[in-house]
Amino acid sequence: MALPAATIEQLGQWEVPEQQIGLWSDALQRFRRNRLAIAGAAVVLLLVLIAFGSPLLVQLHLIADPLKQHVEFIEAAPGQNGYAFGADELGRDTLSRLLFGSRVSLAVGIFVQAIILPIGLAIGLTAGYFGGRIDNLLMRFTDIWYAFPDLLFVLVVVSVFGPSLLTIFGAIALVNWVGLARLVRGQVLSIKEKEFIEAARSSGSAPAKLILKHLLPNSLGPIIVTLTFGIPQAIFLEAVLSFLGVGIQPPTPTWGQMVFDGYENIYANPTSVVFPALAIGFTLLAFSFVGDGLRDALDPRMKR
Amino acid sequence: MAVTAGRPTRGALLPSQLSAITSTRTGSLAIFIVRRILWMAPILFFVILITFTLMHLAPGSPWDKAGGRQLSDTVINNLNIRYGLNKPVTQQFVLYLWSVIHFDFGLSYQYQNKTVSGLLLESWPYTATIGVLAFLLIIPVGVGLGVLAALRQNTRIDYITMGFATVAASFPNFVIGALMVVVFGVLSYRATGGNFFLPTAGFALDDHLIMPVLTLALLPIAYTARLTRASTLEAIRQDFVRTAWAKGLPERLVVTRHVLKNSLIPVVTTLGPTFAFLVTGSVIVETVFSIPGIGRAFVVAIESRDYPMILGTTVLFSLVIAVANLVVDVAYVFIDPRVRLT
Amino acid sequence: MAQTLLQVEDLHTQFFTRRGVVRAVDGVSLHIDAGETLGVVGESGCGKTMTALSVLRLVPDPGRITSGRILFRGRDVTKMTDDEIRDFRGNDVAMIFQDPMTSLNPVTKIGSQIEEAMTAHKRFSPQEAGVRVIQLLKRVRVPAAERRVSDYPHQFSGGMRQRAMIAMGLANEPSLLIADEPTTALDVTVQAQIIDLLKQLNRELGTAMMLITHNMALVASLCERVVVMYAGRVVEEGPVERIFKSPQHPYTWSLLRSVPRVDELRKDRLVSIKGLPPDLSNAPPGCKFHPRCPFVIDRCKREEPELAEVAPNQVARCWVLMRNVPEEAAEVTKQVVISEEAAKKLQEIPGAGS
């Protein structure tokens, strides 16, 4: 491919392509070249497979039932008695608990984003479109929300309403929607400034449909990136909750819970802490790689 | 206007003087600070309101949650009177606000003869020590690593520091804490037959502090390092850096006066969120390492549904974070001359 | 006899990119005498800025000076040590850049930025520098210089920023000032002021100037000699009057034809040179201009011409030469298409028609 002479003068500076056409295929290409992102995506894919496949594995008797307690094998070390990763303090198989823990993590990550999306969109759109006092009001509202330390809010809500699935998902969603709302609002505002909107307005028509039509392709990228980064945030919060004892309750195995349980016996059986801890860490790492990769791939200002 | 020879009369704040105040940067700065402080009030108000409302939405009464106690009606009644729970909710709220302004957060539910403020006063030195130490670690290490990586871009140093930063940024506090305990506590215990390499629990002003501070500081260090690197790389590419080289300045001056002076500005804006992170992180770190600070008191309060304590701690934390953000915002005005104060 | 200040001999500066080697400066030779003003013209990407950056050894990565000599008062810049080049920059030769907004440190006071140019070379003490800064700003006609010294760049207007940059460039009394498109980022009215200022400074201080621009009118008002570059090479060189009156290279001729002339009655539209500048990592064979040249002959496509003397003090790199082109062919206005960017800039000159 020829390198235009004008590029020489700009070597070392950002290039700004103006068209959106081909952005997606271009993005895919760039993502594929990012090895860390691919590694992250592979891990995520593996997690999804495990999450969906683990009940099947139990059915096929390939792994033990994570809920079944074998009292005689309490605190078995890895490799002992057929427990590949050992057993926990109630005699449950650590490996299968690990595998099942992925279900909770993924569920938290995805469902929380599913809740955040409509809230963030609604508020962002309203603030951006109507502007003026409504915008001001909503922005003050988000400022207040922002001032609340996220972990504290979630802990308070959970302590008040009890650690049910709904409460936990809802609370986590409530502390994380601000970012998406601000993003959407910013996008709407910048579209509103464009000339064709002025033209539509001056000819008397309400530009709502026009704005929406242009909003989608422009902001889809940043929205996806924000949601992707939101997944590890949500998983993190749930894990902390579990670690503090107020997350998703037993008998459903979650990684945070496993660290919590294992921590008490950390001297006798450190692996029961290490494995879930590493699982959490690597899952979050994988998602951040994917998020970084997506952001770099979709950023129109990316330097080669 | 009584102006003689250009000097206004003493004590009079004349309109012209007022605008003279706002036209100087110091004047606008003062007004800016005052406005931001005033703005903190409604935010804190809403924090208190929300938390208070949540407390009172809790199903049941606080007394039947406490570990299976069967209390007689008269006892419950007395408790209610003592804690003011027999009054209408709105009145309770107003009373609470009033007492908060006087730094009285009420009585704890779990420790029946202690006040929340008392409990907070007992525990804050531990939290503060670890928090301050962590903060003092984060700035030089985080910024230092970031600058180093940027100046040696694409060399091994860059890859190593950024690799470490990426990993550290993704592993949650408690994971790192737990892993550290395993490595420096359990494994060393087993390896050396009885000796801990580092103490893993409790608070003391010695190497007991090492693991908690490191655990708390690791994530902010990683985040700061990455941001500093990105910001520095961007600054290096700017035209004015080329101008600095063209003037014949030595590398030292180009890096400090031109690159860093610009690249560290965005880093300052993250100090606020970093501080907030230290605050919430203390909750986790103190639990992992059994440190009797505010964070752990908060967790205990959550577990035992000690609402006044929960409320008080939340308010205190929010206040501290708000003040930190204010300080950062003001500092930002000082370091970036382009910021307009209107 | 005028002393030769700068002598660039067969300079090659190349960029080693993933897509290939870009020959940004491909064998450029030029010279500037003391006190002289040399114009270097050409389209974007022809290598004129890179040539200037090479003189100061400021070529950005992934570029490198690969061969050639740059002699300043007999010393080869390409062979200087780091310390020597630091001493050289901003002292013997100074450079001012195109966009004064981005070329000045936004968080440092203007006065400090100029002072540091002086104190870094230890030619003035900090106190002396503080006094001299105000003098310099006055000399470049910045009003209220005493107050302005403590201002930040964003508090200056565009024209004043450029003056401050000029003051910074002249702070150490360099023998040569390289100005890269000094007026391009400015308003039309301000442009005229800066041009006047540069003229005056050249007269008063005797500083030699290398003026890089794609604006032929600027060259006409400021320069004594001009070098025309295309695709990393010099294609024509000579005294300004000679070049303007009878350009020999078709590219120069096209550039000049794109300047609206108020003295001649012409009914032409603004002509432009069709086509795009060549890919410098993959240049066409023969003369680099031949794909766009309206007077191309067979030889042009096969052999690249050397720089040949076409008149006293004038050289051109062409097989055809405009003086050999029959008049009717030269009158062709429809085929020749100039780059839009240059045409737009030319229209902004005061007094230009459309």
Q: ω before A251 within 30° of 0 (cis)?
A: yes
Nearest to C102 among B239, B257, B337 (CB): B239
Which residues does residue C25 pair with via DSSP β-bridges, in sequence order? C13
Which subunits have 3 or more CB–CB pairs within 8 Å of chain B? A, C
- Among candidate residues B308, B300, B312, the one with its CA nearest the CA of residue B82: B308
Burial category of B197 from C-beta neighbours within 10 Å (exposed 0-12, middle 13-18, buried 19 and up): middle
* Residue listed under structure tokens 């028609």: C353
Nearest to B261 among C108, C117, C168 (CB): C108
Stretch among A264-273, B103-112, B282-291 having the lowest mean pLDDT: B103-112
The share of chain C scoring above pLDDT 90, in percent, equals: 32
How does DSSP assign C102-161, residue by residue? TTS-TTS-HHHHHHHHHHHTTSS-HHHHHHHHHHHHHHTT-TTHHHHTT--GGGS-HHHH
Residue B42 falls within a domain, yes or no? no
Stretch among B193-202, C8-17, C254-263 having the lowest mean pLDDT: B193-202
Q: Phi/psi class of residue B199: alpha, beta or left (left: φ > 0; alpha: ψ in -120 to 50)?
A: beta
Distance (Å) from the alpha carbon of A302 to chain C's nearest alpha carbon: 16
Q: How remote is the C-alpha of B42 from its chain's centroid?
A: 19
The whole-chain average pLDDT of chain C stands at 83
Whether residues A11 and C231 touch (CB distance < 8 A) is answered with: no
How does DSSP assign A9-30, residue by residue? HTTTS-------TTHHHHHHHH
Chain C interface, mutation test: which of B237, B247, B253, B335, most C Cβ atoms within 10 Å? B247
Which amino acid belongs to residue B239?
D
- Does B258 contact chain C (CB < 8 Å)? yes
Residue A281 falls within a domain, yes or no? yes
Residue C89 falls within a domain, yes or no? yes
Q: Which domain holds residue C283?
A: 1-103+168-354
Strands B7-8 and C233-239: unpaired
Predicted local confidence at residue B19, as pLDDT = 55
Whether residues B246 and C94 touch (CB distance < 8 A) is answered with: yes
Burial category of A300 from C-beta neighbours within 10 Å (exposed 0-12, middle 13-18, buried 19 and up): middle
Stretch among A5-19, C240-254, C333-347 having the lowest mean pLDDT: A5-19
Whether residues A270 and B54 touch (CB distance < 8 A) is answered with: no
- Among candidate residues C24, C86, C73, the one with its CA nearest the CA of residue C51: C24
Q: Is the model's pLDDT at B10 over the cut of 60?
A: no
pLDDT per residue over B250-280, tens digit each? Answer: 999 999 999 999 998 888 988 888 988 998 8
Whether residues A285 and B187 touch (CB distance < 8 A) is answered with: no
SS3 A49: helix
Residue C248 falls within a domain, yes or no? yes
pLDDT per residue over C222-233, tens digit each? Answer: 899 999 999 889
Nearest to B338 among C87, C91, C154 (CB): C154
Whether residues B245 and C89 touch (CB distance < 8 A) is answered with: yes
User: What residues of chain A have any CB closer than 8 angstroms to a CB in chain C?
Assistant: 1-9, 11-12, 304
Whether residues C121 and B337 touch (CB distance < 8 A) is answered with: no
Q: Which residues of C touch B235 (CB under 8 A)?
A: none
Distance (Å) from the alpha carbon of B261 to chain C's nearest alpha carbon: 7
Which subunits have 3 or more CB–CB pairs within 8 Å of chain A? B, C
- Token digits for C10? 């067969």
CB atoms within 10 A of CB B171: 22
Size of interface B-C (CB pairs under 8 A): 77
| Banded pLDDT at C288 (limits 50, 70, 90) | confident
Predicted local confidence at residue C287, as pLDDT = 85
Q: How remote is the C-alpha of C348 from its chain's centroid?
A: 19
Residue C281 falls within a domain, yes or no? yes
- Token digits for B242? 């080329």
State the CATH number of the domain containing residue A275.
1.10.3720.10
Whether residues B246 and C102 touch (CB distance < 8 A) is answered with: no
Tell whether the torsion through CA atoms of A18, A23, A26 and A27 is positive or negative.
positive
Distance (Å) from the alpha carbon of B269 to chain C's nearest alpha carbon: 16
- Does C353 contact chain A (CB < 8 Å)? no
Cβ(B105)–Cβ(B115) below 8 Å? yes
Q: What is the pTM of this model?
A: 0.79
Q: Is the model's pLDDT at C25 over the cut of 80?
A: yes
Q: Which residues of B touch C107 (CB under 8 A)?
A: 261-262, 265, 335-338
Domain count along chain B: 1
| Banded pLDDT at A6 (limits 50, 70, 90) | very low
- Does C253 contact chain B (CB < 8 Å)? no
Domain count along chain A: 1
- Does B56 contact chain C (CB < 8 Å)? no
- Does B336 contact chain C (CB < 8 Å)? yes
pLDDT per residue over A35-55, tens digit each? Answer: 888 888 899 999 898 888 888
Residue A41 falls within a domain, yes or no? yes
CB < 8 Å from A in window 1-20 of B:
none
pLDDT per residue over B163-184, tens digit each? Answer: 888 888 888 888 888 888 888 7
Give me Rg for the CA atoms of chain C: 21
pLDDT per residue over A51-97, tens digit each? Answer: 888 888 777 766 666 676 666 666 666 666 656 666 666 767 777 78
Residue A276 falls within a domain, yes or no? yes
Distance (Å) from the alpha carbon of B53 to chain A's nearest alpha carbon: 10
- Token digits for A284? 């979050």
Predicted local confidence at residue C20, as pLDDT = 84
- Does C120 contact chain B (CB < 8 Å)? yes
pLDDT per residue over A244-287, tens digit each? Answer: 888 887 778 888 888 888 887 777 777 778 888 888 999 999 99
Give me Rg for the CA atoms of chain B: 26
Over range C77-83, report the average pLDDT: 90
Predicted local confidence at residue B4, as pLDDT = 39
pLDDT per residue over C121-167, tens digit each? Answer: 888 888 888 899 999 999 888 888 889 899 999 999 888 999 999 99
Q: Which residues of B touch C89 (CB under 8 A)?
A: 245-248
CB < 8 Å from B in window 94-153 of A:
143-144, 147-152
Over range B58-79, report the average pLDDT: 62
By C-alpha distance, the chain A residue nearest C231 is: A5
* Residue A173 DSSP one-character state: H
pLDDT per residue over C172-208, tens digit each? Answer: 989 999 999 988 878 888 888 888 888 888 888 889 9
Which residues does residue C96 pair with via DSSP β-bridges, in sequence order? C179
Cβ(C184)–Cβ(C215) below 8 Å? yes
Cβ(C50)–Cβ(C237) below 8 Å? no
| Banded pLDDT at B224 (limits 50, 70, 90) | very high
Predicted local confidence at residue C68, as pLDDT = 92
- Does C320 contact chain B (CB < 8 Å)? no
| Banded pLDDT at C296 (limits 50, 70, 90) | confident
Distance (Å) from the alpha carbon of A2 to chain C's nearest alpha carbon: 6
Sheet holding C208-213: strands in order across? C93-96, C176-180, C208-213, C37-41, C225-230, C233-239, C314-316, C308-311
Nearest to A8 among C18, C24, C282 (CB): C24
* Residue listed under structure tokens 């009940």: A55
How does DSSP assign C36-94, residue by residue? -EEEEE--TTSSHHHHHHHHTT-PPTTEEEEEEEEEETTEEGGG--HHHHHHHBTTTEE
Predicted local confidence at residue A300, as pLDDT = 61
Predicted local confidence at residue C67, as pLDDT = 92
Q: Which domain holds residue A189?
A: 24-48+106-297
Which residues does residue C177 pair with via DSSP β-bridges, in sequence order? C94, C209
Q: Which residues of A touch B180 (CB under 8 A)?
A: none
- Among candidate residues C315, C295, C297, C293, the one with its CA nearest the CA of residue C306: C315
B89-101 and B25-57 helices, crossing angle to 10° = 140
Higher pLDDT, A172 or B199: A172
| Banded pLDDT at A17 (limits 50, 70, 90) | very low
Q: Is the model's pLDDT at C337 over the cut of 80?
A: no
Which amino acid belongs to residue B160?
I
Predicted local confidence at residue A73, as pLDDT = 61
Whether residues B243 and C97 touch (CB distance < 8 A) is answered with: yes
Cβ(A261)–Cβ(A101) below 8 Å? no
- Token digits for C92? 């013997």
Domain count along chain C: 1
By C-alpha distance, the chain B residue nearest A274 is: B179
Q: Is the model's pLDDT at B75 over the cut of 80?
A: no
Whether residues C17 and A2 touch (CB distance < 8 A) is answered with: no
Cβ(A191)–Cβ(A214) below 8 Å? yes
Residue A12 falls within a domain, yes or no? no
- Does A11 contact chain B (CB < 8 Å)? no
Residue A76 falls within a domain, yes or no? no
pLDDT per residue over A118-163, tens digit each? Answer: 998 888 888 887 778 888 888 888 877 777 888 888 888 888 887 8
Nearest to A156 among B169, B182, B310 (CB): B310
User: Residues in chain B, how many?
Assistant: 342
Predicted local confidence at residue B2, as pLDDT = 36
- Token digits for C163? 């003056």
Q: Which helix (H) or strand (E) holds B49?
A: helix B25-57
| Banded pLDDT at B13 (limits 50, 70, 90) | very low
Q: Which domain holds residue B278?
A: 116-335
Cβ(A104)–Cβ(A254) below 8 Å? yes
CB < 8 Å from B in window 58-97 of C:
58, 60, 86-91, 94-95, 97
> At CB < 8 A and 24+ separation, what contacts does C46-50 make?
C46/A5, C46/C229, C46/C230, C46/C231, C46/C232, C46/C277, C47/A8, C47/C13, C47/C229, C47/C231, C47/C232, C47/C233, C47/C280, C48/C212, C48/C229, C49/A9, C49/C180, C49/C212, C50/A8, C50/C13, C50/C24, C50/C25
- Among candidate residues A95, A103, A112, the one with its CA nearest the CA of residue A229: A112
Nearest-angstrom CA–CA distance, C232 and C279? 11
Residue C159 falls within a domain, yes or no? no
| Banded pLDDT at C238 (limits 50, 70, 90) | very high
Burial profile A67-80: b = 16 or more Cβ within 10 angstroms, e = fewer: bebeeebebbebee
By C-alpha distance, the chain C residue nearest B337 is: C107
SS3 C315: strand
Number of H-type helices and E-type strands within chain B = 17, 2
Nearest to B182 among A148, A244, A273 (CB): A273
Predicted local confidence at residue A203, as pLDDT = 72
Q: Is the ipTM reported for this complex over the cut 0.95? A: no
CA distances to C244, C277, C294 from C256, rounded to whole Å, are 7, 17, 15
- Among candidate residues C203, C224, C225, C226, the one with its CA nearest the CA of residue C214: C226
CB atoms within 10 A of CB C266: 11
* Residue B184 DSSP one-character state: I
State the CATH number of the domain containing residue B312.
1.10.3720.10
Whether residues C86 and B238 touch (CB distance < 8 A) is answered with: no
Q: Phi/psi class of residue B73: alpha, beta or left (left: φ > 0; alpha: ψ in -120 to 50)?
A: alpha
CB < 8 Å from B in window 229-288 of A:
232, 236, 239-240, 243-246, 256, 259, 263, 266-267, 270, 273-274, 277-278, 280-281, 284-285, 288
Residue C183 falls within a domain, yes or no? yes
The share of chain A scoring above pLDDT 70, in percent, equals: 76
Residue A251 falls within a domain, yes or no? yes
State the CATH number of the domain containing residue C322.
3.40.50.300
Chain C interface, mutation test: which of A8, A15, A304, most C Cβ atoms within 10 Å? A8
* Residue listed under structure tokens 């569920």: A107
Nearest to A277 among B179, B287, B313 (CB): B179
| Banded pLDDT at B220 (limits 50, 70, 90) | very high
CB < 8 Å from A in window 57-116 of C:
60-63
Q: Is the model's pLDDT at A178 over the cut of 90?
A: no
pLDDT per residue over C41-67, tens digit each? Answer: 988 778 889 999 999 999 988 889 999
Whether residues A5 and C44 touch (CB distance < 8 A) is answered with: yes
CB < 8 Å from C in window 265-324 of B:
265
